């Protein structure tokens, strides 16, 4: 993949990342803000996600419902999402229509209305979104694991927010949040596709540079104290299926151990984007009938977060047996050096997934902005090289350091049949 990009900071502090790709008449534009659920205090959990919803509820220039229709009319694809550390909005458009997306993002960076009537109707939409999540056993379990893993750090709560806060958040809570975080010096705009950099940059300056700079918001940072001893708990709910989630502490995306841990994850749970039926956990847990499904999952985050192994218990096993089988597999990685061939294989897998990803302009624009939320573009361009540098000794060391029972949380979803 060609990685040459243009990186510019506008006079008001907004960062711009541009990458020309002339394979199809398409441009993808991603606007990122440094705000997410980790910036929320008790009482207003979910405010970042709700603010994201309100960004579709209109400005004077683009009233509610005009904005999404305007993008769709041009054949564009658009969406937005809120995560723990960031919030993003994207539009992928026919190349000659991208100006609409840029005008829209510039406008809603500081002209959104937050009309009280729209706030009221969106409240029930978001409550409905949460109720939909609550229907899923795995959401109930995942949310509980997170709440137990983080007592102090705001990674404690789910992005959607707690139901009590969704009932209590006011229009002013939302608007204050918007004004505080939606400022150019807290934003990154990334575009990839069929444009000429000079012309595009000129247009971006015209639209975004007049937006006044604000006070750069500080981020809520309450480090989670070390966990002293394993925590096991259960949640109960309807159904016949037992889910288990085991969460280990994982360092931030910029920690030197992040790359060995990525390779470790590929060996243990499989490389994301592939079928993962020859991962160690699949062979030992699914193939040997401890679990029906198993997956490993880590997120690139600013502060230390979690590595989670999620399993569906095989009907003939008890959760303790499944956890013991997982422990045995982790112990192997701690005790026995991984072969160099196995590491080479993991790197080839990651390279293939990278190549597939570069077929898609939207995906390339995504990466330019996403990495800025926790690191810089270099993180992305050196990713494969950093994976290739990982040694068997590194794998053993991180397995021993991060995968100790004393710092993990184990949650079990106990099914109570159909009468729960």
Partner 1 sequence: MTKNSAKPSLPGVEDIYRVTLSNGITVLARSSFNTPSISMGGYLPAGSIFETDEKLGLADFVSSSLMRGTQTRTFDAIYNELESVGASMGFDSGVHNLSFGGRALVEDFPLLLQLLSESLLAPTFPKSEVEKLRVHMLTGLALREQDTSDMAAMAFDRMLFEGHPYSRPADGFVETIQSITRKDMQEFHQRYFGPKGMVIAIVGAIDPKKAAEALENVLGGWQVPGQVGAPALPACKPVKKTVKHHHVLAGKSQSDLVIGMIGPRRKDPEYFSASLGNSVLGQFGMMGRIGEVVREKSGLAYYASSSLNAGTGPGSWEVSAGVNPANLNKAIDLIQKELRRFVKSGVTKEELADSQANYVGRLPLSLESNSGVAGALLNIERYNLGLDFYQRYEGMVRGVTRADVLETARKYIDPDRLVISTAGP
Q: Which of residues 292-331 bind partner 1 (CB under 8 A)?
A: 292-293, 312, 314-315
Shortest reach from residue 326's CB to partner 1, in Å: 18
Kindly state the DSSP code that residue 195 receives in the 8-state scheme: S
Kindly state the DSSP code that residue 23 receives in the 8-state scheme: S
Q: Which is nearer to partner 1, 160 or 398 (CB)?
A: 160
Shortest reach from residue 154's CB to partner 1, in Å: 24
Contact between 92 and partner 1 by CB under 8 A: the answer reads yes
Residue among 56, 114, 178, 305 that touches partner 1 (CB under 8 A): 56
Shortest reach from residue 237's CB to partner 1, in Å: 6
Shortest reach from residue 68's CB to partner 1, in Å: 4
User: Which residues are paired to 248 by β-bridges?
Assistant: 307, 408
Q: Which is nearer to partner 1, 75 or 210 (CB)?
A: 75
Contact between 218 and partner 1 by CB under 8 A: the answer reads no
Shortest reach from residue 165's CB to partner 1, in Å: 16
Name 152's Cβ contacts closer than 8 Å, sequence gap at least 6: 222, 223, 224, 225
* Burial (Cβ within 10 Å: 0-12, 13-18, ≥19) of residue 411: buried
Q: Which is nearer to partner 1, 278 or 382 (CB)?
A: 278
Q: Report the first-to-last Cα separation within the chain, whole angstroms.
A: 52
Question: What CA–CA distances, in Å, run from 90 to 207, 278, 357?
Answer: 17, 35, 17
Dig out the tokens for 44 from the structure. 């207003």
Residue among 95, 168, 235, 414 that touches partner 1 (CB under 8 A): 95
Question: Residues 110 to 149: which contact partner 1 by CB under 8 A?
Answer: 120-132, 134-135, 137
Q: Which is nearer to partner 1, 92 or 396 (CB)?
A: 92
Q: Which is nearer to partner 1, 17 or 53 (CB)?
A: 53
Shortest reach from residue 160's CB to partner 1, in Å: 10
Please tell me the distance from the alpha carbon of residue 307 to that of residue 153, in angstroms, as a whole number. 16
Contact between 165 and partner 1 by CB under 8 A: the answer reads no
Contact between 73 and partner 1 by CB under 8 A: the answer reads yes
Contact between 353 and partner 1 by CB under 8 A: the answer reads yes
Give the residue carrying structure tokens 């592939």: 274
Question: Residues 168 to 197: which contact partner 1 by CB under 8 A?
Answer: 194-196
Residue 52 three-state SS: helix
Question: Residues 276 to 295: which contact partner 1 by CB under 8 A?
Answer: 276-278, 283, 287, 289, 292-293
Residue among 237, 304, 392, 405 that touches partner 1 (CB under 8 A): 237
Residue among 199, 215, 225, 228 that touches partner 1 (CB under 8 A): 199
Please tell me the distance from the alpha carbon of residue 119 to that of residue 125, in angstroms, as a whole number. 10
Question: Residues 24 to 43: which contact partner 1 by CB under 8 A?
Answer: 24-26
- Give CA angle at 87 (83, 92), nearest 5°: 115
Please tell me the distance from the alpha carbon of residue 412 to that of residue 319, in angstroms, as a whole number. 8
Give the count of residues interacting with partner 1 (CB under 8 A): 82
Strands 6-9 and 291-298: unpaired
Contact between 339 and partner 1 by CB under 8 A: the answer reads no
- Given a contact cutoff of 8 angstroms between Cβ atoms, the answer to whether 361 and 26 are in contact is yes
Q: Which is nearer to partner 1, 22 or 318 (CB)?
A: 22
Shortest reach from residue 138's CB to partner 1, in Å: 10
Contact between 385 and partner 1 by CB under 8 A: the answer reads no
Nearest to 294 by CA among 252, 255, 330: 330
Please tell me the distance from the alpha carbon of residue 102 to that of residue 31, in angstroms, as a whole number. 9
Q: Count the helices and strands in the chain (H runs, E runs).
A: 16, 11
Contact between 239 and partner 1 by CB under 8 A: the answer reads yes
Question: What CA–CA distances, in Å, run from 158 to 35, 39, 115, 232?
Answer: 14, 12, 26, 20
Q: What is the DSSP string of 391-405?
A: -HHHHHHHHHHH--G
Shortest reach from residue 311's CB to partner 1, in Å: 12
Nearest to 410 by CA among 218, 243, 271, 190: 243
Contact between 63 and partner 1 by CB under 8 A: the answer reads no
Shortest reach from residue 185's CB to partner 1, in Å: 28
């Amino acid at each position: 993949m060609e990685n040459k990009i243009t990186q510019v900071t506008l006079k008001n502090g907004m960062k711009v990342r541009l990458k020309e790709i002339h394979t199809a008449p398409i441009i993808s534009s991603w606007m990122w803000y440094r705000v997410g659920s980790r910036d929320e205090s008790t009482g207003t959990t979910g405010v970042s996600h709700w603010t994201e919803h309100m960004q579709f509820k209109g400005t004077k220039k683009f009233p509610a419902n005009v904005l999404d229709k305007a993008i769709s009319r041009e054949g564009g694809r658009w969406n937005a999402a809120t995560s723990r550390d960031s919030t993003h909005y994207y539009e992928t458009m026919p190349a000659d229509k991208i100006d609409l997306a840029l005008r829209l993002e510039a406008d809603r960076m500081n002209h959104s209305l937050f009309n009280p009537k729209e706030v009221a109707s969106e409240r029930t939409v978001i409550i409905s979104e949460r109720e939909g999540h609550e229907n899923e056993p795995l959401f109930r379990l995942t949310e509980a694991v997170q709440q137990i893993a983080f007592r102090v750090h705001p990674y404690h709560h789910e992005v959607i927010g707690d139901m009590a806060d969704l009932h209590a958040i006011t229009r002013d809570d939302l608007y204050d949040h918007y004004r505080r975080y939606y400022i150019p010096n807290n934003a990154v705009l990334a575009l990839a596709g069929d444009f000429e950099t000079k012309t595009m940059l000129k247009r971006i300056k015209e639209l975004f540079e007049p937006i006044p700079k604000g006070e750069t918001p500080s981020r809520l940072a309450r480090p989670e104290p070390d966990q002293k001893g394993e925590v096991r708990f259960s949640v109960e709910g309807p159904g016949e299926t037992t889910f288990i989630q085991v969460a280990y502490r994982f360092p931030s995306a910029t920690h030197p151990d992040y790359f060995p841990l990525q390779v470790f994850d590929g060996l243990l749970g499989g490389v994301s984007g592939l079928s993962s039926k020859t991962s160690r956990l699949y062979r030992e847990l699914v193939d040997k009938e401890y679990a029906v499904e198993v997956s490993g999952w880590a997120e690139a985050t600013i502060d230390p977060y979690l590595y989670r192994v999620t399993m569906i218990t095989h009907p003939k096993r008890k959760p303790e047996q499944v956890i013991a089988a997982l422990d045995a597999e982790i112990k192997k990685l701690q005790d026995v050096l991984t072969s160099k061939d196995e590491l080479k294989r993991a790197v080839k897998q990651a390279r293939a997934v990278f190549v597939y990803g570069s077929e898609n302009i939207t995906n390339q624009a995504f990466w330019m902005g996403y990495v800025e939320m926790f690191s810089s573009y270099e993180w992305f361009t050196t990713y494969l090289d950093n994976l290739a540098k990982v040694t068997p000794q590194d794998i053993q060391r991180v397995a021993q350091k991060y995968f100790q029972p004393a710092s993990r949380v184990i949650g079990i979803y106990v099914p109570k049949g159909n009468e729960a």
